[in-house]
Amino acid sequence: MAGVRVLVGTKKGAFILTSDEARKKWDVAGPFFGGWSIYHMKGSPADPNRIYVSQCSDWFGQIIQRSDDGGKTWYQPGGEVKIDFTGQPAGASNKFVYEGDPGQHQWYDGTPHPFEFKRVWHVEPHPKNPDIVYAGVEDAALFKSTDGGVSWKELPGLRQQRSAEWAPGAGGLGLHTILIDPNNPNRMYGAISAAGAFRSDDAGESWKVITKGLKSQYIPDPNTEIGYCVHRLAMHPSRPDVVFMQLHWNVMRTDNAGELWTNIGEGLPSDFGFPVEVHAHEPNTVYVIPIKSDSEHYPPEGKLRVYRSRTGGGNWEALTNGLPQQDCYVNILRDAMSHDTLDSCGIYFGTTGGQVYVSPDGGDHWQAIVHDLPAVLSVEVQTLK
Amino acid sequence: MSDVRVQLPFHLQNLARVGSEIVITVSDPVTADSILDEVERRYPMLCGTIRDHVTKKRRPFLRYFVCQKDFSHRPTDEELPDAIKAGNEPFIVWGSLSGG
């Protein structure tokens, strides 16, 4: 019987929400890793029982957790208790060391600041091989594991894209988005706040800046390539050259793999927001959640509205059925929106107020699965068939 | 060789799947470095959680306590008191700052 498994990372632990195809009744498991910030958790498309988790803490640093049984049990790959002291390098699963000289990026005041690893923002399992997984980290860099998360190695090509000019956004300098074309895993997209968007056509070895057409009101030079606060990217697997972007200001679209971006945000109540998502079966159906900017970071007018465009941008319609339409002042973070691939595509998002919402009909009707979790940092959905 | 008692904070107990106190055998001289080297060898899942992987510097929000004194800023290659070596007092790793 088909169903869904929703992986929810929160500020104080992880939760797994499961339901059948109807998505009306839900089982809630967790908290896992209670007290730790779970920036992201994601299952392998090639082996849905393989789930990777980024678990972190200001006190104890970064941990990578892995499950091989769909989240029933967890362990740190390569971190087992040693009876003897030979074999794999000890505890390397949370060892993220930059290649060579770490170099410097710009600090908030424009002065040089050394790259320092802080945490993993995003884990992205390879679409075909469950033992290959990528990690987007702060300070921004791309790491890759080919042994199921036991050890990690930086792919330094990304930071060779003028990283001395990268500067952190308010949340830090994180590589927060990694998209992989499931039909051609050599094609990858990455996004960094506040550096920009990047594309690789050789599985992350080398990268190209793809920011032409982006505009930010505090970057007066329209030819500037670096410095854009890209919040999120999304694409449909059937059209890997078409990518949607929630930029700090504006929602953007490219039809040529990032060679040129155009603004598709006309008609939204705010040009700001964090997540962007694409319908599983309708490549031209796009979702965003407008948020009031710059400093408030809650829904305009206290109304929680998902906006849907069925035309690949523009013609936005507000989706409100089942969502609070007064006194709602939560935020929805960039990794906290996802979808399933059931016949009637489900759309999901989590809020900083601890709610996780689902629409089992592509956004027409919404219900809260849970109301009172810790602040939600990430939501990923696995469709189990 | 000394059997040294080490107390770990709650979250690290969970990671290592141990109780509040572990006992490890440490070669002389017994120092913060030699104790933590042995803790990390025995419990590799704790690598990087107390000290940086590469520099071995203490993570900023953690403290080391020895015989009711804060040893966090003492040289980590300094030999520790006999009470630690004898197992009369534990070497304590403490998560020192509250997060609200």
pLDDT value at residue A85 = 47
pLDDT value at residue A221 = 82
Whether residue B41 lies inside any domain: the answer is yes
Sort out which chain A residues have CB atoms less than 8 A from B100's CB and list them: none
Q: Could you read off the pLDDT of A235-291 as tens digits, one per residue?
A: 999 999 999 999 999 999 999 999 999 999 999 999 999 999 999 999 999 999 999
**Residues ≥6 apart with Cβ < 8 Å to A23:** A4, A342, A346, A358, A360
Q: How far apart are CA B44 and CA B40, in angstroms?
A: 5
Whether residue A362 lies inside any domain: the answer is yes
Q: How far apart are CA B95 and CA A59, in angstroms?
A: 7
Whether residue A193 contacts residue A176, with contact meaning beta carbons closer than 8 Å, is answered with yes
Whether residue B15 lies inside any domain: the answer is yes
**Residue A309: strand pairing partners:** A286
Cβ–Cβ gap A60/B95 under 8 Å? yes
Sort out which chain B residues have CB atoms less than 8 A from A59's CB and list them: 9, 11, 59, 61-62, 95, 97
CA distance A342 to chain B (A): 36
- ipTM for the predicted complex: 0.90
Q: Which residue range is the domain that position A322 belongs to?
A: 37-81+89-373
Strand, coil or helix: what is A165?
Answer: helix
- The domain tally of chain A equals 1
Q: Which residue range is the domain that position B32 belongs to?
A: 2-95
| Residue B27 DSSP code | P
pLDDT value at residue A61 = 95
- Residue A101, burial from CB neighbour count under 10 angstroms (0-12, 13-18, 19+): exposed
Q: How far apart are CA A310 and CA A324, in angstroms?
A: 23
- The sign one gets for the Cα dihedral A47, A346, A135, A264 is positive
Whether residue B100 lies inside any domain: the answer is no
pLDDT value at residue A222 = 78
CATH of residue B68's domain is 3.10.20.30
Q: What is the pLDDT along chain A (385 residues), one digit of tens a residue?
A: 789 999 999 999 999 999 999 999 999 999 999 999 999 999 999 999 999 999 999 999 999 999 999 999 999 997 776 555 444 456 788 999 999 999 999 999 889 999 999 999 999 999 999 999 999 999 999 999 999 999 999 999 999 999 999 999 888 999 999 999 999 999 999 999 989 999 999 999 999 999 999 988 778 787 899 999 999 999 999 999 999 999 999 999 999 999 999 999 999 999 999 999 999 999 999 999 999 988 899 999 999 999 999 999 999 999 999 999 999 999 999 999 999 999 999 999 999 999 999 999 999 999 999 999 999 999 999 999 8
Instruction: Kindly report the number of other CB atoms within 10 A of residue A13's CB atom.
Output: 19
Instruction: Kindly report the number of other CB atoms within 10 A of residue A68's CB atom.
Output: 17
Whether residue A170 lies inside any domain: the answer is yes
pLDDT value at residue B25 = 96
**Residues ≥6 apart with Cβ < 8 Å to A68:** A49, A50
Sort out which chain A residues have CB atoms less than 8 A from B16's CB and list them: 81
CATH of residue A273's domain is 2.130.10.10
